[in-house]
Structure 1
Amino acid sequence: MKELLQLGLVYTLNCNASCGSCCFECHPNVESKMKLEDAFDFIRQAAESLAFNKVGISGGEALLYEDEVFEIIKYARSYGFETALTTNGFWGKTVQHALLKLKLLKEKGLTDLIVSTDEFHQPFVSYDYIENIFIANEIVQIPLKVYDVVIKGTPIHPLRKKYDHYTWHRGSCEPMGRGKQTIHADDYIYGDFSGRCTNANKLTIMPDGSSYPCCSPGIQLRGMQLGSVFDLSVDQLLKVKDNSTFLDIMIWRGPKWLKEAGEAMGCLLQNKQNKYVSICHLCHEIAGDVAFLERMEPYMKDFLVDINYSKYLKL
């Protein structure tokens, strides 16, 4: 049975914060935002495709438009979708205020809340605000995940020990977006970048309608773009996704395999580094290297024959 996908709506690039790690370089003066009626249409198309089981809403900071977010959650739930919302918690000024917001989110049908909080968010959203949300959620009980982005020397989050019963994800900052401009290369935590991509189980739509197959920080690159949802239907975009040679190689072989295959043929990435934060980091470097992709295109089509044979053997 084919795995069901998540429809990701990056509802806005507007944000109350200008975090040094932000992959989309969001800040308060960005006006890019999805129209509510377009979000409804994307959800409707996703439901009709029968390929999805979840709708995720993020930004920027989507709750700057909270009334619209409430409507999106309610609309998605009317189709039976699970719903997830990512927020920086700027609305947790008091426990009472956080309690009211959480109750409204649960009433509209939110099934997962993701709170981004770390040393990059803290100058804009106090840890006190985040703790107010944690305390309030002890009453409301929305399944809650905490995303904590780190670099070398980052201490354990001050709220981690006290609220360890929530699901914490401590992830290394990726050198993309504003992070690539503001964080020194030596401060990143480099690690294993072997293996295959396991995150291409999404259709992420940006405010401008461009769409991508995952939620990686580096998705806004030509090599990753599936097309515009204003030019192609959701069903058509899924077909583009399914027929993407590059994506098939990422899923079945992985970016390290493609990099090394290129090196064996004399096709080198322009950025000749040999250490990466993650699979996503290397995939981002490959997808952004137009010359490498153009030189490797005929070889990738040959690789795809072997990949399709591997798929056949798994049937």
Structure 2
Amino acid sequence: MEYNSCGILLTENCNAKCKMCCDSRGRVIGKTLSKEELKLILDNIKECETIDVVGITGGEPMLYPELIEYIFNYDYGRNVGFTIKTNGFWGSDKDKAKKFISRYKTKLKNLSFSYDEFHSEFIQLKNILNIIEIADDLEVNTEIVGCFLQNSVSPGDIINQLGNYAYKTNFAYQPTIRTGAAKTSFKNSQFLKIFDLTKHEPKCAGVIGKTILINPRLEIYPCCSQVIENTILLMGNLAENRLIDVMDNIKYNKVLYTIFTQGFTPFLKFLHNNNIEYPLKLTSTCELCEFLFCDDWFLKLLKEKNYFENI
């Protein structure tokens, strides 16, 4: 599996505190990458020639526009495109927003806005619509991503709020995953369980985008799932490891190779054969990762039962 994208979790800080946040950190003083740490990350990305997209996320990364510009203006020695995941608060100043997008329109592959009933408590939709209008005029792709619960605000409700702007942007919606703040904010019955493992093949969503993740502590994870930092699937740290070596190690990791090539089916059969219960209804297959790798119980079981010749 070759990675063609690297996600940089620029900051843990956010100007919102959404009840469904996978990080549970909103409005808290968290860790933000320094320029020196950021240079180390970008030097490593430059060395990994398969990576041609850098995704910038958080927290709220646009709290630090100078760091985003540093990422954009770094010399990668090749063409690299960029995406930003943001709540769009910065659209309140249309002139500044237009100046930023105009300057980097050839580098921006996509602006992705988080907006739903949770974000609406902190962010005015008008701010996002301002940016969508500017981006549409400058031919920069945008999308709105929303998370939803049972018997609550629906994707159709958000589209109605967008009005004619719905024609100028893409809209992606997903069930709220029971992780982070959502675990304590909502009852289990409120989550949309759209994956039924008695009917659906449990494939890994992480292989679709093939994105490796680096967080503000320089930790490296094998995908950018909402649950990944709540697992033990930490593959390295740039303070000690080169990114290119970590990516190579991931390729030959037997557990990850099984998940990336065969999905979770082999491991679920293993659990079934050993009379171990696992959740049958999920909001996302990512929840299986958090179930299996919340700590080392599953790895110990694989070793105990000699599932692999070595692990």
Residues 267-315 of structure 1, C-alpha deviations (whole Å, 9 max, x = no match): x25xx432111111112211114222211235441599xxxxxxxxxxx
Unaligned runs of 5+ in 2: none
Change (3 A) 1:79 1:42: farther
- The 5 A counterparts of 1:155-304 are 155=154, 156=156, 157=158, 158-162=160-164, 163-192=166-195, 194-200=201-207, 201-266=210-275, 268=276, 272-297=278-303, 298-301=305-308
State whether structure 2 residue 104 is matched by structure 1 residue 111: no
Change (3 A) 1:3 1:160: farther
- The 5 A counterparts of 1:14-163 are 14-75=13-74, 79-106=78-105, 109-153=107-151, 154-155=153-154, 156=156, 157=158, 158-162=160-164, 163=166
Contact 1:255–1:286, Cα closer than 8 Å, also in 2: no
Question: Which has the higher mean CA deviation after the structures are superposed, 21-30 or 38-47?
Answer: 38-47
Change (3 A) 1:300 1:105: farther
Contact 1:8–1:58, Cα closer than 8 Å, also in 2: yes
Question: In structure 1, what is the Cα distance between the partners aligned to 2:259 and 2:138?
Answer: 40
Contact 1:23–1:217, Cα closer than 8 Å, also in 2: yes
TM-score of the aligned structures, taking structure 2 as reference length? 0.88
Question: In structure 2, what is the Cα distance between the partners aligned to 1:229 and 1:152?
Answer: 40
Change (3 A) 1:165 1:256: farther
2:176 aligned partner, one-letter code? C
SS of aligned partner of 1:203 = strand
Residues 106-140 of structure 1, C-alpha deviations (whole Å, 9 max, x = no match): 27x32221111111111110112112222222222
1:283 aligned partner, one-letter code? C
SS of aligned partner of 2:68 = helix
Contact 1:76–1:82, Cα closer than 8 Å, also in 2: no
Aligned length: 299
Question: Which has the higher mean CA deviation after the structures are superposed, 11-20 or 223-232?
Answer: 223-232
1:48 aligned partner, one-letter code? E
Residues 170-191 of structure 1, C-alpha deviations (whole Å, 9 max, x = no match): 1111001111110211111112
Unaligned runs of 5+ in 1: 305-315
Change (3 A) 1:136 1:281: same
Aligned-residue offset at 1:76: 6.0
Question: In structure 1, what is the Cα distance between the partners aligned to 2:5 and 2:307?
Answer: 27
TM-score of the aligned structures, taking structure 1 as reference length? 0.87
Identity %: 21
Change (3 A) 1:252 1:43: same
Question: In structure 2, what is the Cα distance between the partners aligned to 1:103 and 1:9?
Answer: 23
Question: In structure 2, what is the Cα distance between the partners aligned to 1:51 and 1:78?
Answer: 12
Question: In structure 2, what is the Cα distance between the partners aligned to 1:161 and 1:152?
Answer: 23
| CA RMSD, Structure 1 to Structure 2 (Å) | 2.2
Runs (4 or more) in structure 1 with deviation over 6 Å come to: none
Question: In structure 1, what is the Cα distance between the partners aligned to 2:8 and 2:104?
Answer: 17
